[in-house]
Amino acid sequence: MMLDFNNLIKKYDMNITGVIHIGGHIGKEYDEYQKINTIEHMVFYEPDPDSFTKLKARVGHDERVICVNRALGPFSCEANLHREHNNNGQSNSLLEPYVHTHIYPDIVFNEKLKVKVDPLDRYKTSPKFNFINMDVQGAELNVLLGASKTLQNIDYIMTEVNRDELYKNCALIEDIDYFLSKYNFERVEEKWDRDNPVWGDAFYIKRK
């Protein structure tokens, strides 16, 4: 996370009771979640099998945590996960790399892996989950399109966002703003990468 999570909690008086982490990778954010005593439940979604194994090893001991080896999207299907191995899988995406290959020529996508995709709404997440943290490399809007019911219970969203087409046909930050505004979310913070400010993190709060 580029944004300081603890500062956001204090600044916006956040009361997070459950975390939906989409694109869990190897669970680095788990350490941050552990520090928040209001969090009772966590679910991590991660489609890459290698990352998922590391994720389970890191968080699987915690009874509050569920790990799901799935990608999320607008509907159930199988899709190609574009994989790279020289950035520890952090740039893996369901979308084909585009501008990303010019900005980061050292990150080579040299494998496609078939993975299962489901809409988040299929999992009928408990209303206790009120925070989404999403890191899905350009597929943010696709995930949200499959989460219309879940979004009714969400109060806060942290997501990676783009100002350029790092991945083919990826949504830009204005697209995310527009979609989430239909669910009464407002973007209140963003922070862009210092070296390549075409991507960054954004934080949204539901206005009630």
Please give the average pLDDT of every successive group of 10 residues along the chain, which has 208 residues: 92 97 97 94 97 97 96 98 95 97 96 98 93 98 98 98 97 98 98 96 96
Q: Exposed, middle or buried, 102 (CB in 10 Å: 0-12/13-18/19+)?
A: exposed
* pTM, to two decimals: 0.97
User: For residue 8, how many C-alpha atoms fall within 13 Å in the half-sphere facing its CB?
Assistant: 23
| Domain covering 22-206, topology | Rossmann fold (3.40.50)
Q: How far is CA 162 from CA 4, 9, 66, 172, 183, in A?
A: 19, 24, 29, 5, 20
pLDDT of residue 81: 98
174: left (phi over 0), alpha (psi -120 to 50) or beta: alpha
pLDDT of residue 1: 79
pLDDT of residue 124: 86
Other C-beta atoms closer than 10 Å to the C-beta of 174 total: 11
pLDDT of residue 71: 98
Asked if 200 and 160 count as a contact pair (C-beta separation under 8 A), the reply is yes
Asked if 108 and 97 count as a contact pair (C-beta separation under 8 A), the reply is no
